[in-house]
Structure formats: structure tokens, C-alpha cells
Homo-oligomer: A and B are copies of this chain.
Amino acid sequence: MHSTRRAETFPANTPAASQVFTTVLSHGPLTRLEAARRAGLSPAAVTKAVRPLIEAGYLTEDADAEARPTLGRPANPLRVNGGRALFIGAKVTGDEIIGVLTDLCCQVRISRHVPLSAPDPRAVLAALAALVQDLMTEAHGLGAGVLGLGVAVSGDVDRGAGTVRYSPFLEWRDVPLAELACTTTGLPVTVDNDVRALTVAEQWFGAGVGLSDFAVVTVGAGIGCGLVVHGRVVAGAHGVAGEIGHVTVDPAGPPCHCGNRGCVEAIAGDAAIVRQVREATGLTVADTGDALALAHRGVAGAREVYARAGAAIGRGIATVANLLGPERVIISGEGLAAHDLFAEQIRDAFGAAAFGSAARCDVQTRPLPFEQWARGAAATAIQSFIRADEQRPGR
């Protein structure tokens, strides 16, 4: 995270305070006693930790009039005051930037698309600045300040340093994006890999809440994977992890741009599906919309392509499950528009290839609008804001 100006800071001085806040953020309204239990603290600690947070307006206590027990002093459930702070999340793709304005609870308030003429850093930065400007003026009407900007980019991103080390899609190398964006927008900036950002959103606000080991698999132009192990998102020693897209599922399969054959992505990625449907049907197939339409119209060749894609994805997920034994795998991404065409095959292939207890892993599909990518970026900004001065416990 980078920031120049003296930005508003989060008044969670102690580990316990940060812990409690995160717990309440993820687990909805909680009484102090429940929060204490969940965070592994004493009630007294919660009371102390919570006071400055309430005073600063980040937490509120609302005696929930309904649903109260018949006996004893009624509880004052704590909840995060979403409207207290706003964040901007932006996802940069090859041809556009998707931006969202979210509140502290990562609820999307406003979303915007900005087309990109060229994906070079200069143009992206200009578009990003305009986008942020736009969203910040909108934010004025909401009565809260924008406290951070998260940017999600595909590829090798060093979140700690705030730099994009290498993004094949954008053809960037060693771009200090956080620093640049910070100087143009004046906001504290967090830069992270797009799939990891989405994983953070799921971990704090989605289907990964409360789980210490799970995976997010995204299906779309590429096949990506975000991993949470021991309660933390895996970044890998070299900043890259979760490359499920290039797991080989069939050495005799179609060639992949990565140089191998039969990668998941070469079978189930958008481009691969379009190509395969075209070859199978002999018809004109311009994009995944066309491919999908053909399959939905019942064209056998197209359906088979999706079935094979599902099997490839299922086998890729089984590989993750076999290696890491996650509690849950969340399948998501635009590719899920074809959900009905390959969900069964995913499940079957997973079941066949998952070994022993790994098969007990809960595989969920979670269709997700494209703006969720930008929401993931906002989630990283929220995370950075809350943990502003926290250190990672190395070791």
C-alpha cells in the first residue's frame, strides 16, 4: 500500500481490536459475548477494544428490537457501520477498467465502466484517474469519505511493494502502480492480483467466511485460482500461485499459448471454447455468446465442447483438492454463464479424480457479475485500511 498524504487511519491500535472488528465485519451483527467467543478473547477485551471503534463511528450497537430472548438483559449487537467509509475498487483488463464504489462492508454502491484505448500504463493511469474522480464526486452525495483505492490486475503482482511485476495480458513489466496511482489520486492504494483480490472478498464477505482453507476457481478468459491456506491468502514465494489454468489434464489435448498441451485453459478458457465450437460445428462463432447460443440451441458438437470443458475444470479442481484438502472450492467467473452446460461434468470429473477424503470437499458454483472483480479490489483496499500498521507474522 502506498500513500503520500496523511490519510484517515483506523483506530484499531491493538491486535485484539483488529481481530474483533474483522470478526464483526465477516460474521454480521454479534453481541459482545459472541464476538469474544469467536475471536477467542475475553468479554472484557471486547468491551475495551470496541469502545474507540464505536466512538469513531466504525461500529454501531443497535438493540435489535425483534428476535430477543425472553429472559435477561437484552444484548446490544455490534455491527459495522458500512456508511462510515467508502472505498473504490478497480479491475484493469485489456480493454476497459471496471470501477466500483463500495462502503466499508464492501457493498457496491455505484459501478462504472471506462473503455481503454490502449493498455499501456500511461493510458490506464489516465483512465483510472478519471474513474476515481468520477466516483469520488458521486461519493460526496453519500456523506462519507473515500479512504482507499484497490486496483486488481492479472499476472504477477507484488502487493507489498505495490508493483505489477509482470502482466502478460497488459504487457506490463515492473510498473510501480500503487505509487503512480497514489500520486494521481491522492488515495492510499493497494494493488493486488485479480484472483487473489476476489479471494479476499470471498474470505471476508463471501462463501469463504469462517473457513481457514478454501479455494476460489475462476472460469472465463483464463482459468484462475485463489487459495487460502491456514487462514491466509497464498501469494507464493515468487508472487505467483494458483496457476490452475496451466495444470495439464490431457497431454494429447490442444496446444496452449503457454507452450504445453492440454492445459485446463486450453480446453475450458473462453478462446479455447470458441475455437473448439467453431471446429466442431463448422459454423461462424465470434465469441462465447455465439458458442453458448449454439450449445443452448442443442447443437451436439457445441454441447460436447462444454462437456469436455467441464470435465477439464473438474479435474483441475480435483488436483487442487488432492494437494491442499480445502474445505470448500468456490467456482466463479463469467464462464459460469455456461453453468447449466457443464456443472454436472465438473462434479463428475471432480468426484472421479478426487482421492479419498479430498472428495469430501464442498464444491460450490457461484455465478458472479463481472463487477465483482472490481469489488474484490475494493476488498483489498478495505483490508489494507483495517490492517494499516499490522505486520505479517513471518516465520
Contacts from A to B (Cβ < 8 Å): 40, 156, 165-166, 168, 211-213, 225, 227, 229-232, 234-244, 246-252, 258-260, 315, 319-320, 322-327, 352-353, 355-358, 360-361, 394-395
Contacts and interface: CB of A to CB of B under 8 A. Distances in A.
A322 B156 CA distance: 12
Contacts of A352: 259-260
Contact of A394 (B156, B212, B326): B212
A202 to B, nearest CB: 16
A163 to B, nearest CB: 14
Contacts of A241: 323-325
A247 B168 CA distance: 27
18 contacts: A156-B356, A156-B357, A168-B356, A213-B236, A229-B229, A230-B232, A230-B234, A235-B325, A236-B357, A236-B358, A238-B361, A240-B355, A241-B324, A243-B323, A243-B356, A244-B323, A248-B315, A250-B250
Counting from the closest, the 6 A-B pairs by CB-CB distance are A236-B325, A237-B327, A243-B322, A238-B357, A241-B325, A240-B357
Given A231-B394, A234-B325, A238-B325, A246 B320 contact: no
Contacts of A227: 323-324
Given A229-B230, A231-B394, A248-B249, A356 B322 contact: no
Contacts of A239: 325, 357
Contacts of A249: 248, 251
Given A231-B394, A243-B323, A237 B361 contact: yes
A343 B4 CA distance: 51
A234 B230 CA distance: 8
Contact of A319 (B168, B211, B319, B356): B319
